[in-house]
Amino acid sequence: MIGVEVFENYKQNFKKIFDNNLSDENEKVLTVKTSIDNQKRCEIALYEGLSNNIEENVYIGSVNISDLPPGKAGDIKVDVRFKINKNGILSVTAGHNNNYIEYFNTSLKTSSSEYENTLENDISDKNDKKDINAIGIDFGNTTCLAGVKQKHGFEIVALENTGERELLSYVGYDEKHVKCGKIVITRMPWHSQSSVYDIKKIVGKNFEDIEIDESWPFKIINTNSKVKIQLQNCNEEMIMKDTEEILAELLKDIKKKCEEFQGKQLSEAVITVPLSFNKTQKEAIKKASLIAEWATVHLLPDPFAAYYGYLSINPSLKNGTILIFDLGGTSLEMCILKCFDDKINILSIYSNPKIGGKNFDEILKNYIEECINREYMDSKLNTSKRYKLNRDSQKIKKDFVLQNKFE
């Protein structure tokens, strides 16, 4: 079921546009009125799910309509036209006075039955090809992990030069050779304008869909309908990079470390992505992988990767109903799976791109900053100290989690 976010009687509700019974071609028009005088823009959030409660459905994207003509509240009307075919290809156009522009075009997530067949085949392939030289990459907004196949099973590779397995998802351009990981954070107090992070929140998105973070030291630029990132290079010159090019540096670094660990070249990888990623975002991941010289790349939804991981150490999970709770660095995804005889059926999905580990970092940072201000009479932190405080807040959170693990 496809619907949009609406506000009725001061409450946030889910308005159904399409149900699950789709014909070859389906079309509906929703008329949206301005709510204030001289309103310049409006946003329509799209969701997929089975519940009338919007919070229980999956956010799939937004339509941002700008440059509305001036007028009184309610006088300006925008017709939003939704089209979807039986293959789940959704397009949204919107216009005023019959002047329509396409704002959204994506392939929706695979249906539960298709996921079931895909996963069943994947499990069969895994059992049949025991000699496959596999590598899996957990692509996170905050950190990345990589696992390779060894004789005794899969092993997590140390991706940081300091020996840590987690590679921090930071890319630095302050030297001739691009750097990735912890070293970028360490150098940020002096080279913040040459540093890029949060790339997972940016790659594959339209400019209008990116939520700009005021703390970013880099700039998001819209050039000819393509998103680029403006930053400073090693010569202190301002340059612009494609988001896929920046992500490719991370994937290239991971590839190099895994090849060193395995002692041979690698060409194929499985990369995890959020369930909420649309077709454009997935294509951007694949493009970045090609730039990083991965010949073949398979994308696997995060919850399924978690399921496979637990299944390898606990075969009893093969049958039953399972809740996957995935709290990442900047997003939260929950998925309820029904598993039986190597078949997986999705019962429910929830995704929230605004809740993650960074929220805890921010709370800790604000608390420490308040304590500093009280102790030292509104002492203002400079840029260097602010980055150090961010780094220390992340370390405190991580140390606390490691000391308080529950079985």
Q: Per-residue b/e over 12-49, b at no fewer than 16 CB within 10 Å?
A: eebeebbeeeeeeebeeebebebeeeebeebebbbbbb
pTM > 0.85: no
Q: Mean pLDDT over residues 382-397, rounded?
A: 77
Q: Which helix (H) or strand (E) holds 12?
A: strand 11-18
Q: Which of 112, 91, 113, 110 is nearest to 102 (CA)?
A: 91
Can you tell me which residue has the tokens 């020996």? Answer: 163
51 falls in which pLDDT band (50, 70, 90)? low
**Which of the residue ranges 77-81, 103-107, 281-285 would you say has the lowest mean pLDDT?**
103-107
What pLDDT is recorded for position 109? 41
Is the pLDDT score of 98 beyond 70? no
Q: Mean pLDDT over residues 302-307, rounded?
A: 84
Does the domain at residues 2-107 carry the CATH identifier 2.60.34.10?
Answer: yes
- With pLDDT > 70 as the criterion, what percentage of the chain qualifies? 78
Judge residue 223's burial from the number of C-beta atoms within 10 Å of its C-beta, 0-12 exposed, 13-18 middle, 19 or more buried. Answer: exposed
Rounded to an integer, what distance in angstroms lies between the CA atom of residue 16 and that of residue 229?
37
What pLDDT is recorded for position 30? 81
What pLDDT is recorded for position 58? 67
Tell me the per-residue pLDDT of 307-342, one tens digit each, with 9 for 90 and over: 888 887 888 878 888 899 888 887 888 888 888 776
What is the arrangement of strands in the sheet containing 219-223, beginning at the earlier edge strand? 219-223, 226-232, 238-242
344 falls in which pLDDT band (50, 70, 90)? confident
**Which of the residue ranges 59-73, 123-137, 336-350 would you say has the lowest mean pLDDT?**
123-137
Which token pair is 124? 């069969």
55 falls in which pLDDT band (50, 70, 90)? low
CATH of domain 134-303: 3.30.420.40
Can you tell me which residue has the tokens 């470390």? Answer: 257
- Count other Cβ atoms within 10 Å, centred on residue 256: 15
Q: Which of 53-57, 289-293, 382-386 has the largest mean confidence?
A: 289-293
Q: Mean pLDDT over residues 71-97, rounded?
A: 75
Nearest 5°: phi and psi at 267? -130, -10
What pairs with residue 179 in β-bridges? 172
Q: Mean pLDDT over residues 153-160, rounded?
A: 89
Rounded to an integer, what distance in angstroms lies between the CA atom of residue 56 and that of residue 349?
7
In 49-96, the DSSP E strands lie at: 58-65, 77-85, 89-96
How, if at all, do strands 25-33 and 77-85 pair? antiparallel
Is the pLDDT score of 283 beyond 80? yes
Rounded to an integer, what distance in angstroms lies between the CA atom of residue 205 and that of residue 196?
16
Rounded to an integer, what distance in angstroms lies between the CA atom of residue 362 and that of residue 134?
37
Mean pLDDT of the chain: 80
More confident residue, 276 or 259: 259
How, if at all, do strands 135-139 and 268-273 pair? parallel
What pLDDT is recorded for position 379? 65
Tell me the per-residue pLDDT of 167-225, one tens digit each, with 9 for 90 and over: 999 999 999 999 999 999 989 889 999 999 999 999 999 998 898 988 899 999 998 88
Can you tell me which residue has the tokens 């030292």? Answer: 376
What pLDDT is recorded for position 287? 94
Would you list the DSSP string of 183-206?
HHHHHHHHHGGGEE--GGGTTT--
